[in-house]
Amino acid sequence: MALIVQKYGGTSVASPERIQAVAERVIRTRKAGDQVVVVLSAMSGETDRLLALAHRVSPKPDERELDLLLSTGERVTIALLAMALRERGYAARSFTGRQVGIVTDDVHTRARIERVAADRVRDALAEDVIPVVAGFQGINEKSDVTTLGRGGSDTTAVALAAALKADRCDIYTDVDGVYTTDPNIVPTASRLDKISYEEMLEMASLGAKVLQTRSVEFAMKYLVPVRVLSSFTDAPTGTLVTKEDRDMEQVVVSGVTYDRNQAKITLLGVPDRPGIAARLFGGIAKEDIIVDMIIQNISQEGLTDISFTVPRADAKKAVSLVSTLVREIGANDVQLTEDIAKVSIVGVGMRSHSGVAATMFETLAREGINIMMISTSEIKISCVVDAKYTELAVRALHEAFELGTPA
Amino acid sequence: MALIVQKYGGTSVASPERIQAVAERVIRTRKAGDQVVVVLSAMSGETDRLLALAHRVSPKPDERELDLLLSTGERVTIALLAMALRERGYAARSFTGRQVGIVTDDVHTRARIERVAADRVRDALAEDVIPVVAGFQGINEKSDVTTLGRGGSDTTAVALAAALKADRCDIYTDVDGVYTTDPNIVPTASRLDKISYEEMLEMASLGAKVLQTRSVEFAMKYLVPVRVLSSFTDAPTGTLVTKEDRDMEQVVVSGVTYDRNQAKITLLGVPDRPGIAARLFGGIAKEDIIVDMIIQNISQEGLTDISFTVPRADAKKAVSLVSTLVREIGANDVQLTEDIAKVSIVGVGMRSHSGVAATMFETLAREGINIMMISTSEIKISCVVDAKYTELAVRALHEAFELGTPA
């Protein structure tokens, strides 16, 4: 008998009918002899509906209040699923983030989980009751409701799986796994059977929207096998996110991803002396803005240009922070470029294969796509390009690394 | 500087625009020099929307889950009002039932408040922060969410006012006070400036939907002056619900009320021996069904008929309970009559005036309305009549006791 955490995303619980379907699926897992803990998102569209309400009373809603507001979405779905399971004769009990004992830090709207007690979930399992847990939410030390950011329910599921030492965490969504790239852009994109945590982490942080980054970090840290699969089919396939193994290294590039939610900020004519970068990025970090890529040009006549990317939602805030600094340090100007996209290739096989970067740059050059910024890690290479080339770049790279299914 | 608890009902917070209006009103009270604690209901329609969702997954939803589901409605409005107040430069903080420390018994969907800690509310007031509290909800000893039943936010407000020793509890609603009867039925119905707790209690329990009964019980027990007024006008009038005084006794009848949400159950041919009634009503009470009026006819040949009324929503459940008993005790039959209405007159002045009941019965007789059941208390007389006569009975009684405004 395995213990499986099943997480269902917003489209999987979008209506009472879909919730009934989830109930049936949970029951099938139980009938197959496994124990199940369910984690749910809010109905798709609900978070946006609540955000719209908030913006109608306040252009910049207070974040503590926003968290309380948004946390209602999952409370609705867990109550409904528990009802649906009981209706089918299965004991089930809903638990909010607080009731599960999901304690987070104090950063409202994107809190990080600090610990998961899960006592009531364990008690429920011991009583043969199916626990139905609200994703996305926790409480801070003051006992105020916090939320984990978009996609936070994935993190709830994996963190809970880790705390319960579950055998697997199944993430049900509206796609049937992780693909070599976005099938909307490249129709021949193929589903990966298996992917390493490291690759998934790069894919997630690079913009493949299948799993929230932090959920993969949790899975990697606690070695929770995570399966991504569709709640809209009965195929028991999907993609397994797991420890790296030999097979994986044979593949040079596992996937091509893109991210259009970044913005580039450039400081022109920055005096090239120690401590400037520290002040710049220290100030931005203090506002909880995540800086992704940073490029500093070669200094000319004691002045240099610094470019960096931030999430587009934080761009205006970052520019206003930086503008203050520009005056203090005597730089020339700040430029904001929002029409950019980051296109990346990811693969653990890169470590043992040379020439991957060259192939990427040549491929983009052949299509006449100018590269604005480059960043690399052991298992990924990212290029920032003009947003209008996103699809073209993704298609060319997907083909260059032969990722498509045979026609 | 007075401390005022202001409660706003569902129509008063039905939209972001209405919530903005509530924020303005709260600020006006603050500017007038008073401290304010706000208690909110869910947006009107929201509870019904959530109930409809529940019924789409389960015809008889589990009540623990239903409470979690319904409790989301007030969490939305308190977050939005706190945002709106902050937007206007006023420090405000939302508190859920749990955060206020509203501890109830374990009867889901109609829990009773056992205690109100209110520590965080006091702390907020001490910091000059406006506390915005979720009505209708609490938690039980297991820390599960409970709700107080329809109109429960009134009870939250009054209980909180009692706990905080507030100077007054203002209940904002969509009517500007308590009327001598329903103005929809009698256009000349007039607003009462003042009414005693006892009268209000009778009015509330008899179906005047202005205040939840339990809120009036709380107010009476802790002597909290309650003012009922409209959030749709700027008139600072309304009706004050307070301790009985001399003036009130001068008025024989204060109001005429009606209740169409009752059903009559009759047991025919019940063996007339001790213990039968105890078994009957004991069994019904155990299911938390509230029996209102009870009539037992004179025994003939050792058999008697027993009629009683219950809330219409509980009628089917009560009949099925009673049907079991009918077989056990050997009664003849059970009849259910749903098309009834209870019409009542209320007034503390009745105690010192005779002939009030006679006037009531004569008035109904003159209109050809048959009285099915009668019940009386010190300050009210109720008659159960065929539902189709409701309006006629109310109009006739309102006129007979000269309650209308002079034309």
CB contact under 8 A, B83 and A54: yes
In a mutational test of the B interface, the residue from A17, A18, A80 whose CB has the highest number of chain B CBs within 10 Å is A80
CB contact under 8 A, B99 and A144: yes
Residue B241 near residue B233, CB atoms below 8 Å: no
Of A65, A98, A145, the CB nearest to B83: A65
Residue A116 near residue A102, CB atoms below 8 Å: yes
Above 60 in pLDDT, residue B407? no
Of B72, B83, B98, the CB nearest to A72: B72
Tell me the shortest Cα–Cα distance from B129 to chain A, in angstroms: 14
Tell me the shortest Cα–Cα distance from A66 to chain B, in angstroms: 7
CB contact under 8 A, B79 and A87: no
CB contact under 8 A, B62 and A86: yes
> Could you give the CA distance from residue B93 to residue B198 in angstroms, rounded to a whole number?
35
- Name the maximum alpha-carbon separation found in chain A: 77
CB contact under 8 A, A80 and B53: yes
Residue of B nearest to A144 (CA): B99
Residue A78 near residue A26, CB atoms below 8 Å: no
Residue of A nearest to B95 (CA): A144
- Whole-number Cα distances in Å, A38 to A160, A288, A298, A364, A381: 10, 31, 53, 44, 36
CB contact under 8 A, A96 and B68: yes
| Least confident segment among A153-162, B207-216, B388-397 | B207-216
Of A57, A86, A98, the CB nearest to B83: A57
Range B299-309 average pLDDT: 85
Of A58, A79, A99, the CB nearest to B83: A58
Reported as a pLDDT band with limits 50, 70 and 90, residue B81 is very high
Tell me the shortest Cα–Cα distance from B46 to chain A, in angstroms: 12
Of B19, B20, B86, the CB nearest to A62: B86
> Could you give the CA distance from residue A97 to residue A138 in angstroms, rounded to a whole number?
4
Residue A144 near residue A199, CB atoms below 8 Å: no
CB contact under 8 A, A69 and B54: no
- Whole-number Cα distances in Å, B268 to B263, B274, B296, B297, B345: 16, 17, 10, 10, 30
Range B165-176 average pLDDT: 93
Tell me the shortest Cα–Cα distance from B79 to chain A, in angstroms: 5
Tell me the shortest Cα–Cα distance from B232 to chain A, in angstroms: 19
CB contact under 8 A, B76 and A75: no
In a mutational test of the A interface, the residue from B50, B62, B132 whose CB has the highest number of chain A CBs within 10 Å is B62
**Residue A208: predicted pLDDT:** 66
CB contact under 8 A, B93 and A68: no
Residue of A nearest to B49 (CA): A76
Tell me the shortest Cα–Cα distance from B130 to chain A, in angstroms: 13
Of A20, A66, A68, the CB nearest to B57: A20
Chain B contacts to A (CB-CB under 8 A):
16-17, 19-20, 23, 50, 53-54, 56-59, 61-62, 64-66, 68-69, 71-72, 75-76, 78-84, 86-87, 93-94, 96, 98-99, 143-145
Residue A207 near residue A258, CB atoms below 8 Å: yes
Residue of A nearest to B23 (CA): A57
**Residue B212: predicted pLDDT:** 83
**Residue B207: predicted pLDDT:** 66
Mean pLDDT by 10 residues, chain A (407 residues): 95 96 96 97 95 96 97 98 98 97 96 96 97 97 94 95 97 89 91 92 76 90 94 84 85 91 91 82 87 82 88 92 85 91 92 86 94 89 94 96 79
**Residue A155: predicted pLDDT:** 95
Residue of A nearest to B81 (CA): A57
In a mutational test of the B interface, the residue from A40, A68, A132 whose CB has the highest number of chain B CBs within 10 Å is A68
**Residue B84: predicted pLDDT:** 98
Which amino acid would we find at residue A399?
E
Pick the more confident residue, B362 or A272: B362
**Residue B220: predicted pLDDT:** 95
> Could you give the CA distance from residue A68 to residue B137 in angstroms, rounded to a whole number?
15
Residue of B nearest to A72 (CA): B72
Chain B residues in contact with A96 by the CB 8 A cut-off are 68, 145
Residue of B nearest to A65 (CA): B79
Chain B residues in contact with A56 by the CB 8 A cut-off are 16-17
Above 80 in pLDDT, residue B266? yes
Chain B residues in contact with A130 by the CB 8 A cut-off are none
The 3-class secondary structure across B225-280, one letter per residue, is CEEEEECCCCCCCCEEEECCCHHHHHCCCCEEEEECCEEEEEEEEEECCCCHHHHH
**Residue A406: predicted pLDDT:** 62
DSSP string computed for B147-212: E--TTHHHHHHHHHHHHTT-SEEEEEESSSS-BSS-TTT-TT--B-SEEEHHHHHHHHHTT-TTS-
Question: Helix A197-205 crosses helix A213-222 at what angle (to 10 degrees)?
Answer: 160
Residue of B nearest to A80 (CA): B54
CB contact under 8 A, B79 and A86: no
The whole-chain average pLDDT of chain B stands at 92
- For residues B66-79, one letter each, b for 16 or more C-beta atoms within 10 angstroms of the residue's C-beta and e for the rest, the string is bbbbbbbbbbbbbb
Of A19, A69, A75, the CB nearest to B57: A19
- Whole-number Cα distances in Å, B246 to B95, B243, B353: 40, 10, 14
**Residue A362: predicted pLDDT:** 93
How do residues A163-217 score in pLDDT, each as one tens digit?
Answer: 999 999 999 988 888 999 998 899 999 999 999 999 998 887 776 678 888 899 9
Chain A residues in contact with B143 by the CB 8 A cut-off are 98-99
CATH superfamily of the B3-174 domain = Acetylglutamate kinase-like (3.40.1160.10)
The full set of domain ranges for chain A reads 3-174
- Whole-number Cα distances in Å, A246 to A187, A195, A201, A227: 28, 11, 19, 19
How do residues B311-355 score in pLDDT, each as one tens digit?
Answer: 999 999 999 989 888 888 888 889 999 999 999 999 988 888 878
> Could you give the CA distance from residue A297 to residue A267 in angstroms, rounded to a whole number?
11
Tell me the shortest Cα–Cα distance from A145 to chain B, in angstroms: 10
Tell me the shortest Cα–Cα distance from A166 to chain B, in angstroms: 25
> Could you give the CA distance from residue B266 to residue B372 in angstroms, rounded to a whole number?
11
Chain A contacts to B (CB-CB under 8 A):
16-17, 19-20, 23, 50, 53-54, 56-59, 61-62, 64-66, 68-69, 71-72, 75-76, 78-84, 86-87, 93-94, 96, 98-99, 143-145
Lay out the sheet containing B340-346: strands in order across.
B255-259, B340-346, B380-386, B373-377
Torsion sign over Cα A274, A276, A279, A284: negative
- Name the maximum alpha-carbon separation found in chain B: 77
